[in-house]
Chain A
Amino acid sequence: MSAFRAALRISRRDALRAKGRTALIMVMIGLPVLVITAMFTGSATTNVTMREKLGSVLGAADARIVTRPFRTRVEQNPDGTGIGQPSAKRRERPWTPGEIGALLPGRLLRYQANVVEARLADGFDRVDVMEADLRDPMTGGMRRLVEGRFATAPGEVTVSPELVDRGVRIGDTITVWRPDRTVRVVGVAEHPNRPGVLEMVALPEGLLPHQNDGNDSGWLIDTAAPVQWSDVRRLNKAGLAVQSRAVIESSDAVSSGPMDMHRLVQVGVSVLLVVTETVLLAGPAFAVGLRRRRRELAVIAAQGASARQLKAIVLADGLVLGGAAALLGGRSGSAPGC
């Protein structure tokens, strides 16, 4: 133990003495670690999982029913992503609330969403539009009212704080292009997990024209019992995609299919890249250090160091420099996430 302590002492002092070499190795090891950590941190903090998004997507509803252009069987992941549907020869007539109610009894609330061009103080910009009656308790948690009130009539909108930063005020009118309309701002509402989004929220068809099936429209549904995976499959069969709170909240139980494999491969590849990159970059730096230290190692050997102890001294070098660099890289990489 004291031999290893001596080895660590030699490495530490050498690292302080040869500052240029130390800095080089630290950068070579620390930089890839920093980049990968930063990437992972970024992905972990900006990629919101469907479970984290539940509130903004479903509000307090039990499920969201997403209509599709056809009525052929829908394939989807349990979280409602990865929706696929074979196309039919012709488009079906639009779904009606009555038809939905027959398939899944419950109270329905219409929603639709799109992107429009809006004229702001500094020119036209693309603005998300979400349409749902936010006064309805079923939408609780979808958006947080910051100021003013929710839209109560067609032609009224709430705007996201980002739009306020862009010069929009309550009482202003905004000119929208495609559809060509003018809407009045009655409040400020915040998206719970998209902080920088440019968004307006209106009543259904209060800004957008009626959107046909398959055009990001559908219903939120409040059912008596939680919507189970079997219900989802049943609705899929009828040609509807479903995001169910109960299924998403227990999505650990149901495999989310190809996404997991994809993620695993991603992680594997990045680990491989970090290791390879570090070995390729830092290996030569350590090799140069070793050659430089040959004489020193010979002196230590003459003082009675065994081959194992000499290896420990070289290893301590890697431990001190690699450890410090990895720690530093990891910390600076994850700092923005804290």
Chain B
Amino acid sequence: MTVVSLRDVTREHGEVRALGGVSLDVSAGELVAVMGPSGSGKSTLLNVAGGLDRPTSGTVTIEGEDLAAVKDLAALRRTSVGYVFQDLNLIPSLTAAENVMLPRELDGVRTGRARDEALAVLAEVGAAEVADRFPEELSGGQRQRVAIARALTGERRLLLADEPTGALDTATGDEILQLLRTRCDEGAAVLLVTHEPRYAGWADRVIYLRDGRIVESGAVRMESAR
């Protein structure tokens, strides 16, 4: 089942064309890695796919809903899309659990229930013991686990990760990728932007972007690269 689908998507910032006719489908249980040099449009692709940005032309569909027809993109993000960035993902003044609760609370879920859900997801990503700690008391890997937990809380199935391992050492990066892979195998759709070919090895599919276009798409699962 396709979770997110892009059809001939372009995104122009004035004269600059960040994306030029990109078509891409990500299904439930699929981890797609997006690679390419700086300025190739990777982050723009992620922003457009998650509804943080609207395409200049083309269509983006998330779980069957055409974003062009969606009035409240914020509500769609709350219920369908989770973001994980390279760092500074978490609100420093909130504890890990409160960070995970936030999208649910913004969606109107009562605090008590949001907390129960948050603790459950934190346990799933192996961060239950840090629930009541503040981000500055956590290691880089723990912070990314919490961010992933937050991206998955509620019924969200599309996880967009922009260099989630960029600020981590290799071993911790591997752990985070392992976690993403696990979540994926349990039914999430993950779009992962990365510079590291070794992490692309965890993906079901790798696409290469250059100057806003997909230049190569390979359904290679490089077991050997892990």
Number of A-B contacts (CB under 8 A): 76
Q: Using Cβ atoms and an 8 Å threshold, which residues of chain A touch B83? A: 302-303
B93 and A306: CB pair below 8 A?
no
Is B107 located at the chain interface by the 8 A CB criterion? Answer: yes
B105 and A5: CB pair below 8 A?
yes
Is A115 located at the chain interface by the 8 A CB criterion? Answer: no
Chain-A contact segment, one of B24-32, B94-102, B121-129, B175-183: B94-102
B150 and A303: CB pair below 8 A?
yes
Q: Using Cβ atoms and an 8 Å threshold, which residues of chain A touch B103? A: 303-304
How far apart sit A14 and B98, CA to CA, in the bound complex (Å)?
Answer: 14
Chain-A contact segment, one of B9-17, B108-116, B186-194, B203-211: B108-116
| CB contact list, B39-79 vs A, under 8 A | 50, 52, 72, 74-79
Q: How many residues of B contact A (CB 8 A)?
A: 33
Closest partner residue, chain B, to A16 (CB atom): B93
Chain-B contact segment, one of A118-126, A160-168, A178-186, A293-301: A293-301
Q: Using Cβ atoms and an 8 Å threshold, which residues of chain B touch A304? A: 74-79, 81, 103, 106-107
Q: Using Cβ atoms and an 8 Å threshold, which residues of chain A touch B86? A: none
Q: Using Cβ atoms and an 8 Å threshold, which residues of chain B touch A309? A: 74, 106
How far apart sit A17 and B110, CA to CA, in the bound complex (Å)?
Answer: 26
The winner among A5, A9, A10, A16 for most chain B CB atoms within 10 A is A9
Is B89 located at the chain interface by the 8 A CB criterion? Answer: yes
| CB contact list, A212-244 vs B, under 8 A | none
B114 and A306: CB pair below 8 A?
no
| CB contact list, A303-318 vs B, under 8 A | 303-307, 309
Residue positions of B touching A, CB distance < 8 A: 50, 52, 72, 74-79, 81-83, 85, 88-94, 98, 101-103, 105-111, 114, 150
The 10 closest A-B pairs by CB, nearest first: A304-B78, A13-B93, A306-B74, A304-B77, A6-B105, A303-B103, A2-B105, A302-B83, A14-B93, A3-B106
Between-chain CB contacts (< 8 Å), 23 pairs: A1-B108, A2-B109, A5-B111, A6-B106, A10-B93, A295-B88, A296-B91, A296-B92, A299-B90, A299-B91, A300-B91, A300-B106, A302-B50, A302-B83, A303-B77, A303-B102, A303-B103, A303-B106, A304-B77, A304-B81, A304-B106, A304-B107, A309-B106
Residue positions of A touching B, CB distance < 8 A: 1-3, 5-6, 9-10, 13-14, 16-17, 295-296, 299-307, 309
Additional 19 contacts, C-beta under 8 A, given A13-B94, A301-B52, A306-B72: A2-B105, A2-B109, A3-B106, A3-B107, A5-B105, A9-B94, A10-B91, A296-B92, A299-B85, A299-B88, A302-B50, A302-B52, A303-B103, A303-B106, A304-B77, A304-B78, A305-B74, A305-B106, A306-B75
